[in-house]
Amino acid sequence: MSNSSSEEFNWGILGPGGIARAFAKDLGFIQGHAIAAVGSRSLENAQKFSDNFGGVAYGSYEELVADPTVDAIYVATPHPAHHDNVILALNAGKPVLCEKPFAVNAKEAQAMVDAASRNSVALMEAMWARFLPHYAKVREIVDSGVLGPILSIHADHGQRLADQGIARLIDPALAGGALLDLGIYPISFAHMVLGNPSQITSSAIMTDKGVDAQTSMIFSYDNGAQAVLTTTMIEQTPCRAVVAGLNGWLEIDRTFYNPAAMRVVLNDGSVTEYPNTYTGHGLREQAETFKQLVRSGKFESEILTWADTVDIMKTLDTVREQIGLKYPFEN
């Protein structure tokens, strides 16, 4: 593995699907990153990806993680495959950036973290929004105290996808439903601002296949704050977020987890605008963060720690238990 920060950081793509293509495209906006290899269960699919973005094409994940030129693996397979794919790479000594949701449940997530610790290899959840400039500004504003004590969060993520025939969203065998795929965004946002909830109340509308079509949640916190979060795959919603405190509020425009404009509105009537000047999808910040993490010899990010990731999965587990969402492959 290369050590010089001036050398290109070579990515191995495990699972050449849509999000992997978006990741590869976004790497084109920054220097110092390259696609060195791509692995798929289908050599043909790997070759198609390679033709577009470069890198050696492999017809198996085992060959990919054994490639000595690869500095890190980006896991972009369906949710239920993350656990096995990540541990395969970690056991091969490869640092891993794993797509969200990190796993299907907290038990899997903890096993993945344990494998990273055991192998002394870097691991990070690819909750890319956490690493965007406007999320960094959100943390800065909240920490500054300008809003006063934070009392509430409102965030929604809804897209009309249930009638589009997307297997990963509608199939229980692929850990389908709105919660894991879409709800992870407002839940992770609330966790970033307020930490772990002390009480969770959830309600859902289920599909005829037994996954959640729409889920609403109220999180309560020991400091008296609440987060009201909704997610749905049956209709488009505004996809905005508001963080309200005693002295005012911060509002993030559509789509809050993408690069977006936002503003602070204080009780005295003052408004501070934060326009969106970002170009691209937004997946490259996590890549650069992970590169620096690996090059520095660290194993986890301070922005999204292993404990953060496991705690968020525990929250998802609690919501799933309350709404009766269990997948056929779970024990």
Residue-wise pLDDT tens digits, 25-64: 999 999 999 999 999 999 999 999 999 999 999 999 999 9
Matching residue, tokens 């000594």 = 93
pLDDT in tens, 290-329: 999 999 999 999 999 999 999 999 999 999 999 999 999 9
Closest alpha carbon to 26 in 48, 55, 53, 62: 53
Q: Are the CB atoms for 153 and 228 separated by under 8 Å?
A: yes
User: Model pTM greater than 0.85?
Assistant: yes
pLDDT in tens, 110-143: 999 999 999 999 999 999 999 999 999 999 999 9
pLDDT at 6: 53
Give the homologous superfamily in CATH for domain 133-281: Dihydrodipicolinate Reductase; domain 2 (3.30.360.10)
Give the homologous superfamily in CATH for domain 9-127: NAD(P)-binding Rossmann-like Domain (3.40.50.720)
Measured CA to CA, the distance from residue 16 to residue 12 in angstroms comes to 10
Tokens of 66: 């054994």
Neighbouring CB atoms inside 10 A of 310's CB total 20
The order of strands in the sheet holding 248-252 is 199-206, 212-220, 226-232, 150-158, 241-245, 248-252, 262-266, 271-274
Q: What is the DSSP-derived secondary structure letter of residue 165?
A: T
Q: Residue ranges per domain, the chain?
A: 9-127, 133-281
